[in-house]
Amino acid sequence: MSQQLRSLSTANLSSDNSLPTLSYWDTYVCPMCGHGELSVITLTDAFACSFCRHIFDANLETQSLRMLDSVQPMIWFWTGERWRYNRRPDSHVTAVVWSFALAIACLPALLVTVSNYMFPPIDSNGFNQFSIVWTLITLLAHAGIVMWLIAEHYQWPWYVTTKIKLSR
Protein backbone atom coordinates (compact mmCIF):
# COMPACT_ATOMS: atom_id res chain seq x y z
CA MET A 1 0.00 0.00 0.00
CA SER A 2 2.76 2.46 0.90
CA GLN A 3 4.54 1.45 -2.34
CA GLN A 4 1.47 2.53 -4.33
CA LEU A 5 1.23 5.85 -2.49
CA ARG A 6 4.91 6.48 -3.03
CA SER A 7 4.64 5.74 -6.75
CA LEU A 8 1.58 7.98 -7.04
CA SER A 9 3.33 10.84 -5.30
CA THR A 10 6.39 10.53 -7.54
CA ALA A 11 4.12 10.42 -10.57
CA ASN A 12 2.43 13.61 -9.39
CA LEU A 13 5.79 15.28 -8.87
CA SER A 14 7.02 14.31 -12.28
CA SER A 15 3.86 15.64 -13.90
CA ASP A 16 4.28 18.94 -12.01
CA ASN A 17 7.85 19.23 -13.30
CA SER A 18 6.67 18.77 -16.88
CA LEU A 19 4.92 22.15 -16.79
CA PRO A 20 6.94 24.77 -18.65
CA THR A 21 8.77 27.25 -16.47
CA LEU A 22 9.35 30.91 -17.15
CA SER A 23 12.49 31.44 -19.22
CA TYR A 24 14.02 34.12 -21.39
CA TRP A 25 14.05 31.91 -24.49
CA ASP A 26 10.29 31.37 -24.83
CA THR A 27 7.46 33.69 -25.82
CA TYR A 28 4.33 34.05 -23.71
CA VAL A 29 0.90 35.63 -23.99
CA CYS A 30 0.88 39.10 -22.47
CA PRO A 31 -0.81 39.06 -19.03
CA MET A 32 -1.89 42.69 -19.39
CA CYS A 33 -3.71 42.74 -22.71
CA GLY A 34 -4.05 39.02 -23.48
CA HIS A 35 -3.42 39.59 -27.20
CA GLY A 36 0.28 40.31 -27.65
CA GLU A 37 3.31 38.11 -27.24
CA LEU A 38 5.91 38.68 -24.58
CA SER A 39 9.45 38.27 -25.80
CA VAL A 40 12.74 39.16 -24.22
CA ILE A 41 14.29 42.55 -24.95
CA THR A 42 17.79 42.03 -26.31
CA LEU A 43 20.62 42.44 -23.77
CA THR A 44 18.21 42.89 -20.85
CA ASP A 45 16.36 40.76 -18.34
CA ALA A 46 13.03 42.26 -19.34
CA PHE A 47 10.11 41.28 -21.54
CA ALA A 48 8.10 43.52 -23.87
CA CYS A 49 4.63 43.00 -25.34
CA SER A 50 4.21 43.24 -29.10
CA PHE A 51 0.64 44.54 -28.78
CA CYS A 52 0.30 46.85 -25.78
CA ARG A 53 4.04 47.67 -25.59
CA HIS A 54 4.31 47.36 -21.83
CA ILE A 55 7.66 46.40 -20.33
CA PHE A 56 7.89 43.65 -17.71
CA ASP A 57 10.68 42.66 -15.33
CA ALA A 58 11.02 38.88 -14.95
CA ASN A 59 11.98 37.06 -11.78
CA LEU A 60 12.78 33.48 -12.80
CA GLU A 61 13.16 32.23 -9.22
CA THR A 62 9.60 33.14 -8.24
CA GLN A 63 8.25 32.66 -11.79
CA SER A 64 6.78 36.16 -11.78
CA LEU A 65 6.52 39.26 -13.93
CA ARG A 66 6.28 42.84 -12.69
CA MET A 67 5.10 45.64 -14.94
CA LEU A 68 7.71 48.39 -14.97
CA ASP A 69 5.88 51.18 -16.79
CA SER A 70 2.93 51.51 -14.40
CA VAL A 71 2.35 53.66 -11.34
CA GLN A 72 0.44 50.87 -9.64
CA PRO A 73 2.57 47.77 -8.86
CA MET A 74 1.20 44.87 -10.91
CA ILE A 75 2.65 41.37 -10.54
CA TRP A 76 1.68 38.13 -12.31
CA PHE A 77 2.83 34.60 -11.53
CA TRP A 78 3.40 31.95 -14.20
CA THR A 79 1.55 28.72 -13.42
CA GLY A 80 3.05 26.82 -16.33
CA GLU A 81 -0.01 27.31 -18.51
CA ARG A 82 -1.25 30.84 -17.87
CA TRP A 83 -0.64 33.99 -15.83
CA ARG A 84 -2.20 34.47 -12.40
CA TYR A 85 -2.58 38.05 -11.17
CA ASN A 86 -1.32 38.74 -7.66
CA ARG A 87 -4.10 40.59 -5.89
CA ARG A 88 -2.82 42.61 -2.99
CA PRO A 89 -5.20 43.61 -0.23
CA ASP A 90 -4.86 47.39 -0.51
CA SER A 91 -8.12 47.93 1.32
CA HIS A 92 -7.22 51.45 2.47
CA VAL A 93 -6.48 52.66 -1.06
CA THR A 94 -9.47 50.81 -2.47
CA ALA A 95 -11.81 52.35 0.10
CA VAL A 96 -10.50 55.84 -0.63
CA VAL A 97 -10.82 55.38 -4.41
CA TRP A 98 -14.36 54.03 -4.24
CA SER A 99 -15.59 56.63 -1.72
CA PHE A 100 -14.09 59.41 -3.87
CA ALA A 101 -15.76 57.87 -6.94
CA LEU A 102 -19.12 57.70 -5.18
CA ALA A 103 -18.81 61.35 -4.12
CA ILE A 104 -17.92 62.49 -7.66
CA ALA A 105 -20.88 60.61 -9.13
CA CYS A 106 -23.56 61.44 -6.56
CA LEU A 107 -22.84 64.94 -5.24
CA PRO A 108 -23.47 66.84 -8.52
CA ALA A 109 -26.72 64.94 -9.11
CA LEU A 110 -27.74 65.64 -5.51
CA LEU A 111 -26.99 69.35 -6.02
CA VAL A 112 -29.15 69.46 -9.15
CA THR A 113 -31.97 67.61 -7.37
CA VAL A 114 -31.91 69.92 -4.34
CA SER A 115 -31.87 73.04 -6.55
CA ASN A 116 -34.82 71.69 -8.56
CA TYR A 117 -36.89 71.21 -5.42
CA MET A 118 -35.82 74.46 -3.75
CA PHE A 119 -36.46 76.55 -6.89
CA PRO A 120 -39.21 74.78 -8.84
CA PRO A 121 -40.05 76.01 -12.35
CA ILE A 122 -42.65 78.77 -12.44
CA ASP A 123 -44.45 77.29 -15.42
CA SER A 124 -45.26 73.64 -14.66
CA ASN A 125 -46.44 72.67 -18.15
CA GLY A 126 -43.68 70.11 -18.73
CA PHE A 127 -40.64 71.58 -17.06
CA ASN A 128 -41.18 69.25 -14.11
CA GLN A 129 -40.08 66.32 -16.27
CA PHE A 130 -37.15 68.39 -17.54
CA SER A 131 -35.71 68.68 -14.03
CA ILE A 132 -35.89 64.89 -13.58
CA VAL A 133 -34.26 64.32 -16.97
CA TRP A 134 -31.55 66.87 -16.17
CA THR A 135 -30.83 65.12 -12.86
CA LEU A 136 -30.55 61.74 -14.61
CA ILE A 137 -28.25 63.18 -17.30
CA THR A 138 -26.04 64.68 -14.59
CA LEU A 139 -25.89 61.38 -12.70
CA LEU A 140 -25.10 59.33 -15.83
CA ALA A 141 -22.46 61.78 -17.07
CA HIS A 142 -20.63 61.82 -13.75
CA ALA A 143 -20.95 58.04 -13.37
CA GLY A 144 -19.34 57.66 -16.81
CA ILE A 145 -16.46 59.90 -15.77
CA VAL A 146 -16.03 57.88 -12.57
CA MET A 147 -16.01 54.57 -14.46
CA TRP A 148 -13.34 55.94 -16.80
CA LEU A 149 -11.19 57.10 -13.86
CA ILE A 150 -11.54 53.76 -12.07
CA ALA A 151 -10.64 51.84 -15.24
CA GLU A 152 -7.57 54.07 -15.63
CA HIS A 153 -6.61 53.44 -12.00
CA TYR A 154 -7.01 49.65 -12.00
CA GLN A 155 -5.87 49.09 -15.63
CA TRP A 156 -8.25 46.19 -16.24
CA PRO A 157 -7.10 44.04 -19.21
CA TRP A 158 -10.35 44.53 -21.17
CA TYR A 159 -9.99 48.29 -20.78
CA VAL A 160 -6.35 48.34 -21.88
CA THR A 161 -7.14 46.17 -24.91
CA THR A 162 -10.06 48.38 -25.94
CA LYS A 163 -7.98 51.52 -25.48
CA ILE A 164 -5.18 50.13 -27.66
CA LYS A 165 -7.57 48.91 -30.38
CA LEU A 166 -9.28 52.32 -30.52
CA SER A 167 -5.98 54.16 -30.78
CA ARG A 168 -4.81 52.11 -33.80
pLDDT at 139 over 90: yes
Residues 6+ apart with CB under 8 A from 120: 128, 131
Amino acid 91: pLDDT? 54
State pLDDT tens for residues 52-91.
Answer: 888 999 888 888 888 888 777 788 898 888 888 876 655 5
- Model's pTM, two decimal places? 0.56
**Treating both helix axes as pointing N-terminal to C-terminal, what angle do 157-167 and 127-154 enclose, rounded to 10 degrees?**
100
Spatial distance between the Cα atoms of 75 and 57, rounded to a whole number of angstroms? 9
Encoded amino acid at 114, one letter: V
What value does the mean pLDDT of the chain take?
79
